[in-house]
Amino acid sequence: MAEPMKIRATLQGDIADVRILFLHPMETGTRKDSKGDIVPRHFIQNVAVTHNGKTVLDGQWSQAISRNPFLGLRVKGAKAGDKISVTWTDNKGDTRTDEVAVAAAL
Amino acid sequence: MIDPSRRTILKYAGAFGAFTMGLVTGLVKSSNAVAAQWNKVGFESKAMADALKALGAGNPVESKDILITAPDIAENGAVVPVAVVSKLPHTQQISIIAEKNPRPLMATFDVSSGSEGYVSTRIKMGETSNVWAVVKADGNFFAAKKEVKITVGGCG
Amino acid sequence: MPRKQNSITALAVVCLATWGAAPAMAQSGDPLAVGRQMLAEDNPGELWIERGKTLFHQKRGPQDASLEQCDFGLGPGKLEGATTRLPRYFPDTDRVQDLESRLLTCMVQLQGFNRDDIVKRAISPAGSNGSDVEALTLYITSRSNGMKMNVSLSHQKEYDMYKAGEYLFYRRSGQTDFACVQCHGGANKRIRLQDLIHMTDKKGVQEVVSTWPAYRGAHFVVRTMQWRLSDCFWQMRLPELTYASDVSIALTTYLHYQGNGAVIKVPGFKR
């Protein structure tokens, strides 16, 4: 089941420092479970980040990105309140989108 | 919902050409959605040279304008943090390669429209190896490397 | 064949100048520090807080009740600051209880869960989604984030528990003849790459009591103090430490009191 992400987007000048935590097993397909059976490959293949609806980052991942992954990026030309949306899609076709507003610098 | 990908696919088709984007996999369930691109040839390459070829990177120029932040020694090979800063103007794409991994290509990020030349993520490493950042800027490819020592392998 | 790259002044450099990250040069001092810092800054454990909050308010178990009426020492449902006072004596059970033991009491009494069933699943398998107990323990503790550990020993049983914990900390036991103090009683000790926190030092023990529950990187789940103690017992080749037992509560009472003043900051991040 697609678990919610945790997204932090903080303004630094006019750059949004965006940090995303994902919950996903990122199984490589080479690991064996306690019974000795191979756990099938199950991993996020694509991550897209939009800023006010416009794609600003498009990522392709291998199964060797860590379990419960993390992604950090920096979005140009941002203002407080702008919408940052993140969508991931995995090799089983599961997908999840979460969104936050850019927070003003503390 | 997956509209942004559509624009992305059209952009890829124009910029990179068919040979860099191998077979399309990872079809999204939603009936309205367009299949997202995934560089199958690149991600299944077993040697760094093949991964570079699949990226269209050829022989990247070593550049001091690419900075890699990663631990000298990683406590846990399953979770190795890697951050890449590219100071190269018109940075379009950042890829991360773990040279000695069974399949070296870890990720490719298109940052060409609206993001800085910066990504940070965490990778699995099976053994001590160079971690490479391969950057496409202004149509050309550049690279930098950093050795990360692994104490416990992260693939099992 | 690599060519020398000419230096190029660009707008990009100006934009990136504000980012103060260290370039890829040899790291002086602790070669593990950079990695640890990068991981701790963005801690997957934080995702468990929301899960714990949902579970706390959700009607669950045979009695279809939430945990909102659970008393962690400050009154039913009062969470803010509750874990800074735990372990403590509870009149209704006539026992000194730590957070997890008290959570167990409430899950049984309010929600009707079977105690053995909870204990069996409390410590989740590595790589799993984690247990409800782990998520709840983290959520409840996080409600004291920023507050100082403030355990009191004013009740006789609290004091007795503390003394029992102190005794256990120093007692050499089992086939290895280990006591906690041998690994944790001095500065700059480590096993392979793992630092052994100096727990007879105020700063060391404060670090311990303020960072559990923690995301255990190698297990990919949140782990609790009960787990940490049972894992230590395993490493010392002692008999299995029973979940929420008096022995575990005694050690926790001792450590928390020693760590009074520590500012709670969970989830911690452990390797």
CATH code, domain with A95: 2.60.40.10
pLDDT surpasses 80 at B65? yes
Provide the domain limits for residue B138: 60-150
pLDDT surpasses 70 at B33? no
Check if B31 contacts A (Cβ < 8 Å).
no
**pLDDT interval class at A2 (50, 70, 90):** confident
Catalytic residues of C: 232
Chain B nearest-CA distance from C140, in A, is 27
CATH code, domain with C254: 1.10.760.10
The mean pLDDT of chain B is 82
Q: Determine, yes or no, domain membership for B146.
A: yes
- What would the pLDDT profile of B81-137 be if each residue is shown by its tens digit? 999 999 999 999 999 999 999 999 999 999 998 999 999 999 999 999 999 999 999
pLDDT of residue A1: 65
How many structural domains comprise chain B? 1
Upper half-sphere CA count for residue B10 (Cβ side, 13 Å): 5
Within a 10 A sphere around the Cβ of C138, how many other Cβ atoms? 28
Check if C18 contacts A (Cβ < 8 Å).
yes
Q: Which of A45, A62, A91 lies closest to B103 in CB terms?
A: A62
Q: Determine, yes or no, domain membership for C215.
A: yes
Provide the domain limits for residue A50: 6-29+38-101
- What would the pLDDT profile of A32-64 be if each residue is shown by its tens digit? 888 899 999 999 999 999 999 999 999 999 999
- What would the pLDDT profile of C37-93 be if each residue is shown by its tens digit? 999 999 999 999 999 999 999 999 999 999 999 999 999 999 999 999 999 999 999
Provide the domain limits for residue C205: 43-270
Q: Which residue has the tokens 């167990």?
A: C104
Q: Determine, yes or no, domain membership for B55.
A: no
How many structural domains comprise chain C? 1
Q: Determine, yes or no, domain membership for A1.
A: no
Q: Determine, yes or no, domain membership for A46.
A: yes
CATH code, domain with B100: 2.60.40.2470
Q: Determine, yes or no, domain membership for C14.
A: no
**pLDDT interval class at C271 (50, 70, 90):** confident
pLDDT of residue C158: 98
The H or E element that residue B25 is part of is none
Q: Which residues in chain B touch residue A98, judged by CB atoms under 8 angstroms apart? A: none
How many structural domains comprise chain A? 1
**pLDDT interval class at B1 (50, 70, 90):** very low
Cis peptide before C87 (omega within 30 of 0): yes
The mean per-residue pLDDT over the stretch A4-28 comes to 96
| DSSP-assigned letter for residue B23 | S
Q: Determine, yes or no, domain membership for C183.
A: yes
Q: Determine, yes or no, domain membership for B98.
A: yes
CB contact under 8 Å between C47 and A74, yes or no, is no
Q: Which residues in chain C touch residue B75, judged by CB atoms under 8 angstroms apart? A: 32, 35-36, 193-194, 217, 271
pLDDT surpasses 70 at B12? no
